[in-house]
Structure 1
Amino acid sequence: MDSVSQIALGSAVAIATMGRRTAVWKAALWGAVAGTLPDLDVFIDYGNALANMVNHRGNSHSLLYLLVFSVGLGWGIARLHGESRQWMRWWLAMALVLLTHPILDWFTVYGTQLLRPFSTQAYGLGSVFVIDPLYTLPLLVGVLLALRRKFFAGLRANQIGLLLSSLYLAWSALAQQHVSDVAQASLKAQRSAAQRNAAQDIAAEQLLVTATPFNTVLWRVVALDGAHYWEGFYSLLDADRDMAWSRHDRGLALQAQYPQPDQPVQQLARFAQGYVRMEQNGDALYLTDLRMGQEGSYNFHFLLGSPAELASGLYRVQKQSMTMPVKQGLQALWRRIWGRPV
């Protein structure tokens, strides 16, 4: 999730854990600091844009490493404020703040390597977008009220904010499952129609359902189908469950030419669990993560170089801009949320 959400969550968790044992402002401050720490890995340069992407949310988001780190952090905070008798409580607060950071990130589709060092598998549910005001606002309001209102009323407001934000995450997972069922039914109908008409059949091997920006009403669906993928959108406000799908080439033949597991093509394919596209435009090869963005506007789109460069082991790996204008994108998003075609 975005930095504001992680700061708000960290403060809220720390306030709720420390309760009356320390000043609210201390808990809020250190909760915000600890909630930010795992994302400082963005300042580490792993050599190129794609390596930076797949290594973000790596060791700094390991549940084991964060748990170990929380012991020293909690002890240091207790010593700093002369609250040594409360160090175990400070440790518990910092442990919960640090651990809830990657767990919240898991709800997004990016990919969080929770089980390092035992596994580099990147986990991502995709039920919330990386920025979602409906998740963050209850936390912010609860923390602000805890800082400004009388002690018990402020703590209660903070608890309510945590409860509402948690319920929103639960809602997002339920909504995602509902859209997954709708998408599977739509694909099944498409298959039946294809068989009747002897047309192109859709046989989805993998299905990805992700929330679109800033909401959990409109969802994007990507279905992998052999050498192709299908993209569709479904709003909970749509009058019809029959989704419209567009078909695109994944570039599997191109990907097969670069099978080295330590090179960018397979690195991204492994990290994105197969949701990648490779294409050649003139003398340039491009690699795209299909999970974040949509057709014509992807967040992670990389220029790898020319075929000759890749054959000699030279990869440029430059991130390319592939996003639509903000105003145009928000207008299209708003229309589609309300079930109107774009």
Structure 2
Amino acid sequence: MDSLSQLTLGAAVTVAVMGKRVPLWQSALVGVVVGTLPDLDVFIDHGDAIRNMTLHRTESHALLLLTLIAPLLGWLVAGATRSRPQWRSWCLAIWLALITHPLLDLTTVYGTQLGLPLTDFPFAIGSMYIIDPLYTLPLLIALAVALWRRDARGLRWNQAGLLVSTLYLGWSMLAQSIATHHIEQSLREQAVQPQQILVTPTAFNTLVWRTVIIQPDRYGEAYWSLLSPGRPLAIRWQDRHAALFDAFKGQWHAERVAWFSHGFYAMREQNGNTLIADLRMGEEPAYTFTFNLGTPQQPAAAPEREPSLRPSLSQAWHKFRERL
């Protein structure tokens, strides 16, 4: 999720755990810092764009490693805030602020390797868009009220914000399940036999859902809305250029994108070079993560990320209304 959501969640969690044991501004500030910590790995340069993408949300998001570091951070914070008798509460608050970060990231489609060091599988539910105001605003408003009031009623506001935002996460998974059911039914009616299906929300909402349908030689993209469930699924098919991948088999960068994307990738040629795109993020023809692999004879030692062409705000709004 976006940084604002993560730091707000971290602050709301630490305020809820610490209550009135310490000043509310103090626990909120600690939560903001701790809730942001896992994402600082984005500043690490691993050498090329594909490594940077696939090594984000790794060790810094691993539940076991975050659990091991929480007591140390709790002890340090208790000392820095001169609240040593509360160090156990600080440990719990910081642990929850740390692990809720990757658990929230888990709801997005990107992929979070929270099982390290036991497994490097990039887990992803894909029921939430990376930015969703309906998740963040209840948390932010309730936390602001708690910090303003600084009393028991304010703390209840903060708890209510956590409850509402968590229920929204549950709603997103239910909506994803409903969308998936209708999309699979529509595919059966159209006699489409998919190899894989991805269903994930469009920007800033959980009403319009994007689906990617993978077949051996092509992929399809379609949109389904909770407000018009009976509308026939209009699939736009594109060539995957799967044969281009054969020349890159065994090449680390190509294999890495194919693995990280769970098979939701496509390739194409441009100016003599081969590009590979992660189809899960973005939409046709602009995908957030598209990389230049070079040529089979001379693969790029450090593949670069291709610029993504984003629609204007007016175009995006027009598309959303049409799909809704």
Using structure 2 for the length normalisation, give the TM-score.
0.97
> Is residue 2:170 matched to residue 1:184?
no
Aligned residue for 2:268? Answer: 279
- Deviations along 1:54-95, one digit per CA (max 9) or x if unpaired, are 000011000011111111101100011111111010000000
- Deviations along 1:94-134, one digit per CA (max 9) or x if unpaired, are 00000000000000000000100111100111111000000
Aligned residue for 2:205? Answer: 215
Aligned residue for 1:323? Answer: 309
Give, in angstroms, the shift of residue 334 of structure 1.
Answer: 3.0
Q: How does 1:1-342 map to 2 (within 5 A)?
A: 1-191=1-191, 202-238=192-228, 240-260=230-250, 263-310=252-299, 314-338=300-324
Confirm or deny: 8 A CA contact 1:303 1:316 kept in the other structure: no
Give, in angstroms, the shift of residue 337 of structure 1.
Answer: 4.5
Confirm or deny: 8 A CA contact 1:237 1:337 kept in the other structure: no
Distance 1:308 1:320 in 2: 20
Secondary structure of 1:130 counterpart: coil
Structure 1 residue runs of 5 or longer lacking an equivalent are 192-201
Distance 2:64 2:17 in 1: 20
Letter in 1 for 2:250: Q
Structure 2 residue runs of 5 or longer lacking an equivalent are none
Letter in 1 for 2:41: D
Give, in angstroms, the shift of residue 315 of structure 1.
Answer: 3.3
Distance 2:284 2:14 in 1: 41
Deviating more after overlay: 86-95 vs 218-227: 218-227
Give, in angstroms, the shift of residue 316 of structure 1.
Answer: 4.3
Letter in 2 for 1:230: G
Give, in angstroms, the shift of residue 37 of structure 1.
Answer: 0.2
Letter in 2 for 1:235: S
Letter in 2 for 1:6: Q
Confirm or deny: 8 A CA contact 2:248 2:296 kept in the other structure: no
Confirm or deny: 8 A CA contact 1:182 1:241 kept in the other structure: no
Letter in 1 for 2:135: Y
Confirm or deny: 8 A CA contact 1:115 1:121 kept in the other structure: yes
Letter in 2 for 1:334: F
Confirm or deny: 8 A CA contact 1:132 1:213 kept in the other structure: yes
Using structure 1 for the length normalisation, give the TM-score.
0.92
Deviating more after overlay: 326-335 vs 154-163: 326-335
Distance 2:97 2:319 in 1: 33
Distance 1:259 1:307 in 2: 10
Distance 1:100 1:144 in 2: 20
Confirm or deny: 8 A CA contact 1:283 1:307 kept in the other structure: no
Letter in 2 for 1:272: S
Letter in 2 for 1:51: R
> Percent of aligned pairs with the same residue?
43
- Deviations along 1:281-314, one digit per CA (max 9) or x if unpaired, are 241110100000111111111112133312xxx4
Letter in 2 for 1:205: Q
Distance 2:282 2:197 in 1: 16
Give, in angstroms, the shift of residue 44 of structure 1.
Answer: 0.5
Equivalent pairs counted in the alignment come to 324
Distance 2:41 2:93 in 1: 22
Distance 1:334 1:286 in 2: 28
Task: Describe the shift of the 1:145–1:210 C-alpha distance in structure 2 as closer, same or farther (beyond 3 A).
Answer: same
Secondary structure of 1:154 counterpart: helix
Secondary structure of 1:231 counterpart: strand
Distance 1:333 1:48 in 2: 34
Confirm or deny: 8 A CA contact 1:205 1:226 kept in the other structure: yes
